[in-house]
Structures are given as structure tokens and as C-alpha cells.
Amino acid sequence: MPDLERVVLGVTGGIAAYKAAELIRLCKQHGAQVRVLMTSTATRFISPLTLGTLAESEVLIDLFPASETGLSGSWTQHVHLGRWAQLITIAPLTATTAARLAWGMADDMLTATVLSARCPVLLCPAMDEDMYRHPATQANLERLRGYGYYVLEPEYGPLASGLIGWGRLPEPETIFARMLELVRGDPRWQGRKVLVTAGPTIEPIDAVRFISNFSSGKMGFALAEQAAQRGARVVLITGPVQLPTPAGVERVDVRTAEEMFRLVQARSPEADVVIMSAAVADFTPLQTERGKIKKSRYSRGLTLRLRPTPDILAWLGEHRRPEQRLIGFALETENGESYALEKLHNKHLDAIVLNNPNEPGAGFGHDTNRVTVFFATGEAVHLPLQSKHRIADHLLDLIADRLL
């Protein structure tokens, strides 16, 4: 098993920069070499002397050190560091450095090294909740995920501003555990074949119109991303969504329920775990017009006839190998628990994840969710409101602990 040996630790200018000292100590205790790169703002929060002493190496800040003329060639250190690193971690990551990285700016040693890197990059954003929630910050983090970088979401708690909310840097032990996981994988998931479905399906009415639902795909994409991070071999079958493909995931795009069904039939036999988080349309038009339906032909109104689509999850429940694990989702607006349990039993699942789109902050399109997981054993676990990435993290832990 590979071990953590060569870390580049980026530290940017936030109050949580003091936690970097402890993180360096954990890496050193583990036996890893650490090179610390700070932004100039970070040096106002914690001294390079402290971090350099703990890391037992010189801290780099500027691309062009003051003593250099630029003629000796040593300014290319970012390229060497980028290649040397086995893992780059930036903790804390400010909104500003997230923005610079998202747009490929390389105006200091840290950002230039990240651009030169070939290794996994773990980003640990930490800031005040409003800054974190701002669409610009969220869009930048989404963009960074799209480059294949891993994002460890901030936690809930007291913030430097005196407010309480999301935005706290996780404790150094939590960051270090994720760093180890990125290098070693999670032994419970390492090498497992996982099939995840995500997003809506679209069912064409004519050449330009379709029936669909509001699913954004975020929950399924978060599950695929986290499973890949833990070392699983992940196939993600997704309906049409506006999301970047997570790092290390094989993505297959489909449009209709019928197409998703065919692909699940083809790819599920090899899977150890199947997670059906797609919001598959239950009905599709009986006929699809080849051209565009003209309004003038239906001035008194248009009645569409629909037929049911195949229930993919029910098919999976009937065709699964005994050792294959099968997890479904249930979207219910009322009587959630009884409907979810009915689906759990009728579709022969190991677990079902219940969510209610009417609850604040939960369901389609939101970045957050709150769910209850029901296991076939009768156990129920409630996961309170949190980001879909954190929900995915908990779900994978629950599945690993209870079902693998």
C-alpha cells in the first residue's frame, strides 16, 4: 500500500492558518517530508519561521525570491515541487486563492506549483459563512472540482467573526485522515466496483420538447466523487446535468429512462455496489412526434398519452447477485417513512435513502440535504441538514460499516 511521503502544504491568509502548524506536525510524525508554500497574506496570520521550523525546510512564498535575479534558473522551483509532491493540500484555502486557482492564475509560488502539479490536490476552504455561500465562491469551488481537485468541505461552528455557521476549517486530524485516504484509499472501498446513477431523465414529446423533473444530479455526483476518492472504481450513469465529471470517475451520459435502463443492465452485473440516486421519469410519452408539434393543430388543448417506464431499481432487485449491495433513494412528499420502507422491501434493497423535497434546504437543486437511511435490518439513521458532499461522505461510511 502506498504511504504518505512527500507533501506540499499550501497555507493561505485566513485565521485558521494556525491549524497548519498542527497539520505539519502530524505529517512529520507520520514520517512524511513537508514543503510549505504560503501566500504573502498568510504570513500576516502565522510566521514562516514557525511553519518552516516544524517542517524542517525553507518556506517559499514568492515566485521570484528577493535575492534572485532570475538568471540562475532557480525560479523554476514550482515545476520541481509540482513534480516532487505526492499530494498537495491547501489548508486553509481562502476565497481569494480559490478564485485565483479556479482561473488558472499563477502569480505566487503556491498557485504556480498547483498548476505544475501532477498529483492529487486537496483543498480545504475556510472562511466566514456568507463568503463561503456566495455564488462566486461556490462557482469557483465547482470549477476546481471540475479540474479533478478534491474539496474537503468546511464544518459548522463558531467562526472568527463571532458568528456561528458553516466555514470552519476541520481539525488537523480530520484533514490528515483525508490526506491519508487520498494516498492509500479507504480499505473498505479500495478496488470495489461501484455503479452510481444520477440526475433526471428526459422523455421527448417531440423534436424540441420533453418531460423531466428538477433533479440536479448533485447528490449522485457527490457519491461518485467520494467513492472514487476512497479508491473505488466508479461508473457514473447520468441523465442530462450541468456538472463536471468528478476525478477518477467513468461517466456515461444518457437521456431517457429507457437508455439508462439499458446501460444499467449492461454495467450492473460487474458492480459490487449499486446506488440508484437518479430521478428516473416514471412515465414517457406513448409516441414521440418526429417534428415539432404545431400549436395551431391543438388550439383546444393537447392531451399527451404516457406509458410507464421500466422500474430500473426493481429490475436490479430481481437480478442482483446475493453479494451485490443495492441502495435506492426515495423521494416522498408525504408518509415518507412508510413509502420508503415499502420500496425497500418491494424492490429487494439493502438500504433506502429517504428525502423530502419540501423540507427547507433539502431535495432537488439545493447544495444541502437532510435524509434518513433505512436498512433492511430495520435500522434507521437520520442525517441532519448538511452539504450533499457531507451527506455522501456519511452515506459511504454507513454503507461500508453496515453492508460491506
Cα distance between residue 338 and residue 250, in whole Å = 35
Going 27 to 29 to 34 to 38, the CA torsion angle's sign is: positive
- Taking the complex as a whole, the smallest distance from the CB of residue 142 to ligand CTP amounts, in Å, to 24
331 versus 381: smaller Cβ distance to ligand CTP: 331
272 versus 311: smaller Cβ distance to ligand CTP: 311
Instruction: Indicate whether 311 belongs to the interface with ligand CTP (CB under 6 A).
Output: yes
Instruction: Indicate whether 329 belongs to the interface with ligand CTP (CB under 6 A).
Output: yes
Q: Which amino acid is at 193?
A: K
Instruction: Indicate whether 150 belongs to the interface with ligand CTP (CB under 6 A).
Output: no
- Taking the complex as a whole, the smallest distance from the CB of residue 310 to ligand CTP amounts, in Å, to 6
- Say if CB 208 and CB 290 are below 8 A apart: no
Instruction: Indicate whether 343 belongs to the interface with ligand CTP (CB under 6 A).
Output: yes
- What the block records as the C-alpha cell of 193 is 466496483
Tell me the pairing of strands 273-276 and 325-331.
Answer: parallel
3-state secondary structure of 11: strand
77 versus 284: smaller Cβ distance to ligand CTP: 284
Number of residues forming the site for ligand CTP (CB under 6 A): 14
Q: What DSSP element (H or E) covers 357?
A: none
Cα distance between residue 201 and residue 212, in whole Å = 6
Q: Which amino acid is at 174?
A: T
213 a catalytic residue: yes
Instruction: Indicate whether 331 belongs to the interface with ligand CTP (CB under 6 A).
Output: yes
Instruction: Indicate whether 8 belongs to the interface with ligand CTP (CB under 6 A).
Output: no
- Taking the complex as a whole, the smallest distance from the CB of residue 239 to ligand CTP amounts, in Å, to 11
39 versus 197: smaller Cβ distance to ligand CTP: 197
Query: Backbone phi, then psi, for 118, in 5-degree steps?
Result: -115, -5
Going 97 to 98 to 101 to 105, the CA torsion angle's sign is: negative
- Taking the complex as a whole, the smallest distance from the CB of residue 2 to ligand CTP amounts, in Å, to 35
Give the per-residue contact string, 243-272, with ligand CTP (x = CB under 6 A; - = no): --------------x---------------
Interface pick for ligand CTP out of 185, 246, 328, 363 (rule CB under 6 A): 328
Instruction: Indicate whether 236 belongs to the interface with ligand CTP (CB under 6 A).
Output: no
Instruction: Indicate whether 137 belongs to the interface with ligand CTP (CB under 6 A).
Output: no
3-state secondary structure of 373: strand
142 versus 259: smaller Cβ distance to ligand CTP: 259
- Taking the complex as a whole, the smallest distance from the CB of residue 302 to ligand CTP amounts, in Å, to 24
Q: Which amino acid is at 221?
A: F
Cα distance between residue 56 and residue 65, in whole Å = 19
| C-alpha pair distances (Å), 391 with each of 8, 81, 90, 190, 373 | 29, 34, 23, 20, 11
Cα distance between residue 294 and residue 82, in whole Å = 58
Give the per-residue contact string, 271-310, with ligand CTP (x = CB under 6 A; - = no): -----x-x-x-x--------------------------x-
- Say if CB 399 and CB 328 are below 8 A apart: no
152 versus 349: smaller Cβ distance to ligand CTP: 349
Q: Contact residues for ligand CTP (CB under 6 A)? A: 257, 276, 278, 280, 282, 309, 311-313, 328-331, 343
Which residue numbers are catalytic? Answer: 213
